[in-house]
Structures are given as structure tokens and as C-alpha cells.
Chain A
Amino acid sequence: MAIKDYIRQRYFPQMWCPGCGHGIILNSLLRAVDELGLDKNEIVMTSGIGCSARISGYVDFHSLHTLHGRALAFATGVKLSKPELKLLVPMGDGDALAIGGNHFIHAARRNIDITAIVMNNRIYGMTGGQYSPLSGPGKKATTAPYNTIDNQFDVVKLSVAAGATFVARSTAYHVLESIDILKKAIRHKGFSVVEILSQCPTHYGRKNKEGDAAQMLEFQKNTTAKIGSKALENDPALIPRGIFVDIDAPEYCEEYDKIVARAMKQSQNSNLDQTLINIANQTCEK
């Protein structure tokens, strides 16, 4: 399997539960990277904290496992300081949109060339199954024994409103679609957001009676539909999948490079002016 070249095999088997959707997303992501033909040395994967964040330890790229919610802030520093690098930032739903919400909207606003992958399993898995801003109302979680009353974000709408120039959604079930979307997202110059609905059979699945991993994948298939499909037309309650936004806009690092060029030119001109003044003064004194 060509994608085995992209993993740190000595750390496998990976630590996720049997049937965890994050493993499938890792699988899809590696295939996307392989099909794009990217050089491992040009990729930096930055992640936060949580089950989803552990993905960065398993990949044979430059990997930066940071703080809860802060992956995009670290990634911004990496990218701006070395724009030729490719930044992949997988995050959990809580990591990206609860504690990380502020950094999420600002990275989108800047349209900095980073690919954010929201691995949305609608739960805080690592800490034992608390509800997240993506759980939605009426769900059971360890911190919602009487069911949740919180509404959830629509990641796509949030990303679009914040200024992301590539926004897409798929699920762990739809592997071919995910691979295709991830390729486009990574190739896109600007801030890309890919939300991939994932499953946590251990906490979310069990507590909310959504069954085992396979059944949760069936659920992803049955409750979603492609944008523009007949199925979505017939039942608008289905979650739309596909690419919602794919536009070209000035990218942050490129715009800043223009500032650097301008500042350096101005500085050289003013140094030249000063030198001429100095020479003139010395001539006058004589």
C-alpha cells in the first residue's frame, strides 16, 4: 500500500478505538496526499488536543501537536514564516469550534493558505464523552445526563461567513468523495475548510444508541446527500455534502510578501537619500 510510506509505522497500531472514524479519515487523507504527489518534507501537520489531534503523531510529515484549540494559531506562525510549506490542520469539533473558535474564524478571515480538516464526531471523545458545540440538542453525553439543550454550529455556514475560500463537507463513509475533496482543498490556494462527519462508537454511538461503527457509517450515508442531488431536493432535512465554496481571493502570505517588497524598496530608497545627504554635508563642511 503506497500510503504506508506516509506513516510512522513503528507507532502503529494507532490508539483510536476499534471503528473510530478518525482512522478512516487518516486513510483518506494519506491517499489524497499520495495522489497529489506531495513531498513529505514540504508538509507540516499541526493539530490541537483530543482524539483527532493524535493523527499528527502517526504521519511521517513535520508534525506539531499543540494545545487545545490553538492548532490554527501555531499553523499561522509556521505558514507565514515559511510560506512554501503545505499546512494540514486536522482538528476535532470541540478543538476547532469551541475553544478554537476564535482562531478558526480569524484564519478564515485572513484567507491564509492552510487546509483545516474538522473531524466532526460531535463529542469530546478523549475526555470520555462530553457534549460539544456540534452535538446538537437532545443528545446524551456525560455532561448532559438530561440531554443537551445546546444548538450546534453549521460548520459550512460558519466557514463561509468567516471568509474561507474553499468550504466542503463529506463523511467518513464517503471515502472516495473525501479523498477527492481533500485533494482539492489541499490544492486550493487560500483557507480551505473540510468538515468530515466522523463516528465515535465508544461514547457518542453507545450513549445515543446509534449502534456500532458500521451502523454509524450507515447513518452517515442515510442522513446526508450530495449538493444538487434528487435526494436532497426530496428531503431538505438531509445534510448536504460536497463543495460549497471554491473561489479565488488574495492569499494572506502572498499579500504580506508584497508589503515586504514595498517596505524593503522604501527602506533602500531612504538609505540612499540619507547617504547622499551625508555626502553633501561633508562636502559643505570642507
Chain B
Amino acid sequence: MKPETIAIIEQYLNDEMTPQERKNFEQQLSADEHLRNDFELYNNINATMSASPNENELRQTLQQMNEKYFTSDAVVKKGSFKKWLAVAASLIFIIAVSFYFLMKNTPSAEKLYAQFAQHTNLNIQLRGTAADSLAQQAATIFNNKDYTNALPLLQKYLQQQPDDIQMKFSEAICYLETGKPAEAEKIFTTVAGGQTAYTETAKWYLALTALKENDLTKCRTALTAIPNTSPYFTKAKALLEELPD
């Protein structure tokens, strides 16, 4: 396919033609089978290779479901004895846990943070750029929870790819985990104000940041800002209930 043909197809797709040019091109498309095939092939290739905008969100959903449905005995056959056994066991567990919390003082912010701050792994999609190996290295270290050593790699990567929001987010988690909550909060606030796959996650992390800093009032405010459409709503509600007065 000639570059000139592609340039014309792109002008058409980008809506950069005059009405007359548009009409001519469409007529040509319906008359010329060769051009039509090229047009379809061009579209096909572009669609196939384009990143899917919400794949990361889907991964988050699937990870949550995986924990629920693939962990031992999480899925129990309906009506079986095992199910009743499971119900009985969970009842005993719930009673035991509530008893424990009733007897003990309400949990500290530190304990709550450890309970609720579970960072999902960083999944790198290869982009075929020179920054790939750096990104992969950073992800491996990050996924090992070695936030001190992941941070400089992420910073280096972000100098080259400042718009990579997934990596920016992971950088913020590293700040949070290495005693720099102010830096973390700055990033989470920016992301929470945007319109990306990470908006809701960032709101949740703003609450976690406040919790880490033991600022319970701020944590409460951040939690109440999480809408019931958010995937973090249930967690936010649970944390809100457990916060000490």
C-alpha cells in the first residue's frame, strides 16, 4: 500500500476533507475494490494493534473475582453438607472476630492500614519502546514489595514516559510506603481529579494515605467521597465502620 493512499485514508478518517473531497473518496471506495480492501486492511490493522483503553480496569475486576472464586473452598456446591459446614465455620469465625474486637480496644490506624492497604501487582504491557526493560525491572521489584528500590527505577522511567499513569500511580504507592505521604498525596489528588482508569482507585488511596498519617478526620472525609458506583465502595464502607472514634 502506498504512503499516499494511507495519507488519504487518514485524512478521511480524521475528518480533514472538504465535503466535496469526502464525497469523491466515498465514490471511489464503492467503485474500486482494490482501494476498498486496502481501506479495510488499514482499519483492521489499526484496531488490532491499538491499546484497549479499559483493559487495566478489567484486570482489577478479574483479580477481585479470582480471589473470591478460585481460593480454596470459596466455591462450594449448592445445598451440600459442605456448604452448611462452611456457613457454620464462618459464623463461628465472625462471632470469634467480633468478640475479639469487642474485648480488645478498637484497632489502631496502623493495624487498619496494614489490613486495608493491599496493593495490586503492576502488570506491564509491552509497548515496544526502549523504556520497556526499565519498566519491567521496576514492576518486578515493585511486585516484590521492595518499594525503596522500586522508587528510583520508576522515577527514571517516568522521566522518559511522564504520561504513563499506571507507573505514576505505582510511584505514589512507593512514596506512601517509604514514609513520604505528602508526595504520594500530591499524585493521588491529581489522579483523583482526572478522568482515567485510576480515578476511583486514587480516591481510595487518598483515604489510605490519610490513614497512614493517622489523620482520621481526613480519612473519614476521603472515604465518604467514594461513590457507591466505585469498585472500592464496599471496602470504603468497611473501613469507615472500623475507624476508631
Are A and B a genuine interacting pair, yes or no? no
